[in-house]
Amino acid sequence: MTTSTEMSQLAIVTGASSGIGKATAQRLAADGFHVLAGVRKQSDADKIAEVNIEPVILDVTDQTHIDNLVERVASDPHKRPLRTLVNNAGVAVNAPIEVLTLDDWRFQFDVSVFGQIALTRALLPALLANKGRIVNITSVGGRVAMANFGAYSAAKFAMEAVSDSLRREVEEFGVTVVKVTPGAVSTNLTDSGLAAAARIADTMTPEQHERYDELGKAFTAQAEGFARDGVTPEHAAGVISRAVTARKPKTRYTIGRDGAMFTFMPRIASDRFLDTVLRSQNKSLAKTKS
C-alpha cells in the first residue's frame, strides 16, 4: 500500500533501461516513490518515462553524470528527501581467466564495483541526512565462483565486502545497507553476456579452444536456461521492493530457489564438494550443446 510518506520521497535505481532495473523502477513508482531511473541512452529514457518515473542519463563510470544526479537530488523542486539508492547497474564479462585481458577485467570492475562505489559515496551525504537505505544488487556469483565467471564473480564478491563494510560503518547513523542476491532471472544481461563471451572466444588460440570450448558450451546452455527458466524481472522487483520498504529489513534477500541455495551452500559444503558438483554440472550442460 502506498503511503503519503513514500509519495514524498525519492528513490534512485541504476541500470534501469531493462530487466531488473526497469522492473524495479516501475515497482517503486507503483509503491509511490518518485523514481530517478538511471539509463545510458535517451532512447531508453523515452521508453521508461511515466508517472513517478523520471529518467536520468547515468553512466556510473562517468563522474559528470554522477555530479549531475547529486545536483538533481539536492535541487529537487518539491524538496523530497532521498530515501533509497538501488545499485543495480552492472555488466557480465564471462570467459576463462587465461583468456581475459586486463582491459576486460577493468571494464567489469569499472561498471560493477568502482562505478557503484563512486555513486554511493557521492549520494551518501543525502542518505545520511535522510536516514535512507542503500540496496545493492549482488548475485549468486558473489557467493560461489563458477568456472568461466572469474571476473564477474570477483566483482560481485567485492560488492559483498563493500556492502558488509558500509553497513557496519553507517548503520549507527541511520543508513541501512541491504544486499539482494538474485539467482537465475530472465533478463537481457544474458544476451549481453553471451555476446561478450563470443567476442572473447574469437581471440582464443587453438590450444585455448581445445581447453575451454566445452566450458563455453556449458556456459551457453546455462545462460539459455536462465533466459528460459529464470524468474521474471517483475518477481525480482517485488523482492527488491520489500528490501526497500521493510521497516526492519534483513541484511540480505534472495531471489529464486537457486538464489537461496547458492547463498546457503558455501556454509555447509566443502570446496572440493562444490568443485565436483559444478564440474559435473558443466559436463552435463555441455552435452546439451554438442
Catalytic residues: 152
Residue bearing cell 562517468? 62
Neighbours of 219 (CB within 10 A): 26
Give the separation between CA 77 and CA 161, rounded to whole angstroms.
36
